[in-house]
């Protein structure tokens, strides 16, 4: 129970860091929550503390009511999800999240595609045209918004993989251009690189639909877009893929309820025969801006640098360490 709630809390804190102070749930979840309301609230356990923080946050950040959606606090979300799993007889610990509101077109199986022969530029341009012309991707865009395709150096050794576009990204059609993206740019710069030296892509090609704020993509959404991400990785052929946040990890490796960010980050994994480093999403650092948290991410980046054959200076090794 504790580990499950910690996992939910990590996700909620990440959403909060992106500017979300509410979570959208469907009517069934609301009914389940009502039945379980007596078990939540003023208790002294972790869920109770999460609920109080969520209430304080809501007082600070008023959100206009949206008629089609009911908004619930962080603790309510955790309890609702757990009880959805129990009622549906799901495997213990497995998270089942339903769509937050009606009206979203169903996600089909991935669309088969074939890239032409040629060099990286030819194949990348062909893939970009396919993605930007994908009818399923376009169907899920808000009016006037853009499909988001990867960008960067096609000969990059390092491929940064995020999760889904946000508000800034769907406007510009480029990944990681908002606040989290600005922080990622600073991290890349601290490594002695620029955005033009690396490649940056996302699990998702569109911003998941929700009336207000952001939400993590569903398994179906990630499954549809994953072949496009794999094709980008194949074209760029990086030595290292860096997964930014648990959603990116789940998109690349498949969901695993037992997976914990605190245990898997900072260790080498494998994806499609390539080195995979897992670290926190930049938006998580926007929430937890402590030197200790920055140091964890920076240690991950130094490991990436060393694996890529880059020199790590003594100055770089000292970033975010406490002064003696």
* pLDDT over 80 (residue 88): no
Q: How far apart are CA 294 and CA 282, in angstroms?
A: 10
Question: pLDDT tens digits, residue range 149-197?
Answer: 999 999 999 999 999 999 999 999 999 999 999 999 999 999 999 999 9
Ramachandran assignment for 189, one of left (phi > 0), alpha (psi -120 to 50 degrees), beta (any other): alpha
Q: What angle (nearest 5°) sits at the alpha carbon of residue 237, between those of residues 294 and 273?
A: 80
* pLDDT over 60 (residue 75): no
Q: Tokens standing for 149?
A: 């395709």
Average predicted confidence (pLDDT) for the chain: 79
**The predicted structure's pLDDT at residue 179:** 95
Question: pLDDT tens digits, residue range 284-295?
Answer: 999 887 899 999
pTM of the predicted protein model: 0.72
Residue in the structure block whose two tokens are 């309820």 = 257
Q: How far apart are CA 314 and CA 74, in angstroms?
A: 42
**The predicted structure's pLDDT at residue 155:** 98
H helix or E strand, kind and range, residue 61:
none
Question: pLDDT tens digits, residue range 114-158?
Answer: 999 999 999 999 999 999 999 999 999 999 999 999 999 999 999
Give residue 221's Cα distance to chain centre. 13
Residue in the structure block whose two tokens are 């008023």 = 62
**Dihedral of CA 137/138/143/147: which sign?**
positive
Q: Which residue has the higher pLDDT, 297 or 4?
A: 297
* Structural domains of the chain sorted by starting position, each given as residue range(s) with its CATH number in brackets: 2-87 (no CATH), 120-317 (3.40.470.10)
Question: pLDDT tens digits, residue range 15-35?
Answer: 554 444 555 554 544 555 556
């Amino acid at each position: 129970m504790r580990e499950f709630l910690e996992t939910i809390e990590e996700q909620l804190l990440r959403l909060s860091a992106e500017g979300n102070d509410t979570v959208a749930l469907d009517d069934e979840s609301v009914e389940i929550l009502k039945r379980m309301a007596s078990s939540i609230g003023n208790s002294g356990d972790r869920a109770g503390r999460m609920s109080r923080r969520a209430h304080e946050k809501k007082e600070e950040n008023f959100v206009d009511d949206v008629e089609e959606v009911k908004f619930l606090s962080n603790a309510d979300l955790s309890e609702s999800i757990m009880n959805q799993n129990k009622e549906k007889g799901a495997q213990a610990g497995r998270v089942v999240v339903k769509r937050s509101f009606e009206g979203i077109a169903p996600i089909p199986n991935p669309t088969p595609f074939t890239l032409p022969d040629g060099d990286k530029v030819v194949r990348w341009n062909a893939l970009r045209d396919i993605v930007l012309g994908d009818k399923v991707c376009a169907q899920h865009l808000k009016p006037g918004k853009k499909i988001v395709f990867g960008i960067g150096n096609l000969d990059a050794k390092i491929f940064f993989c995020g999760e889904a576009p946000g508000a800034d990204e769907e406007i510009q059609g480029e990944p990681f251009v908002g606040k989290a993206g600005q922080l990622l740019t600073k991290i890349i710069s601290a490594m002695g690189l620029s955005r033009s030296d690396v490649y940056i892509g996302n699990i998702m090609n569109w911003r998941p639909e929700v009336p207000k704020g952001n939400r993590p993509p569903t398994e179906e959404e990630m499954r549809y877009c994953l072949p496009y991400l794999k094709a980008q990785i194949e074209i760029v052929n990086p030595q290292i893929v860096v997964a930014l946040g648990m959603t990116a990890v789940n998109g690349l490796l498949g969901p695993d309820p037992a997976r914990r960010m605190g245990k898997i980050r900072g260790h080498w994994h494998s994806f499609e025969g390539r080195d995979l480093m897992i670290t926190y999403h930049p938006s998580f650092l926007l929430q937890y801006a402590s030197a200790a948290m920055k140091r964890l991410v920076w240690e991950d980046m130094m490991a990436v640098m060393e694996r890529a054959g880059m020199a790590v200076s003594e100055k770089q090794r000292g970033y975010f360490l406490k002064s003696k």
